[in-house]
Amino acid sequence: MGPALKTCAVPSRRSLVAVWLASAVLLGGLLVLAALARGPLDDPDPARQRPGLLDLGSLPSPAPRVSAEVPAPGRAALVLFERVDRLAGLCEALGHHRFAGSAVVVVVVVVVPGPGDRCAPGIAVVGDPSGALAAQFGLDRPRDGGVPVGYARVDGRGDIRYRTLDPSVAAQLDEIDTILRAAK
């Protein structure tokens, strides 16, 4: 740093007040912008969306039955929740992604609020027209009040270790790798 930074004069009181007011307006504006940017599929409580932390709140808790393979002793599972009109995009992303981050075998299942459909090879699609499964997993309702879009991580003991809404899940599958590794 130059000598000027070692010899700081005391600003006038008016300048100090201006700094405080400018900071309040600028950062308050950022708060408002961040709130406006939230989408209809986001969690009403942003702190609960993509927290990155296992066993948050009431977790771990037993996972409900999703399919014959989930939950199953010794087999971890990733349960993705998606809407019917977005399923193709998620399946395409899953088809190009290899969940290589986990040392355990992971069963991947996609739950949609409609009839079961085809997805990427090796990935089952389970129909859940009423959205009851998402509720049993404890996923929050998104801001638009519809069925959740997100995912849950079930460990080999059949416990839910992580759950979150994530409207951008198809674009952030590598983030799931981190969660899978953490919940061995």
Partner 1 sequence: MTGTRGSAPAPEAARILNVCLWCLVAVVVEIGLFASYRGHDARFHWLTHFFVGSSAALLVMAAVAVRTRRPVPAPLVWALVGHLFAMIPDVAFTAGAAHRPWMDIFAGHVSSHFVPGRNLTWYLVFLVCLGAYLAAVDRLRSPGRG
- Sole residue written with tokens 């998620």: 90
> Shortest gap between Cβ of 60 and partner 1 (angstroms)?
14
9 is a site residue for partner 1 (CB under 8 A): yes
Q: Is 62 in the site for partner 1 (CB under 8 A)?
A: no
Angle of CA points 22, 25, 28, to nearest 5°: 140
d(CA 158, CA 131): 20
| Token pair for 55 | 């066993």
Q: Distance from first CA to last CA of the chain, Å, rounded?
A: 48
Contacts of 85 (CB under 8 A, 6+ apart): none
If one asks whether residue 178 binds partner 1 (CB under 8 A), the answer comes out as: yes
Q: What is the closest distance, in whole angstroms, from the C-beta atom of residue 116 to partner 1 in the complex?
A: 29
Lay out the site mask for partner 1 across 18-57 (x = CB under 8 A, - = otherwise). -xx--xx--xx-xx-xx--xxx--xx-xxx-xxxxxx---
Rounded to the nearest whole angstrom, what is the least distance from the CB of residue 156 to partner 1 in the complex? 17
The total of other beta-carbon atoms located within 10 Å of residue 79's CB is 27
List interacting residues with partner 1 (CB under 8 A).
Answer: 1-11, 13, 16-17, 19-20, 23-24, 27-28, 30-31, 33-34, 37-39, 42-43, 45-47, 49-54, 101, 167-168, 172, 177-179, 181-182
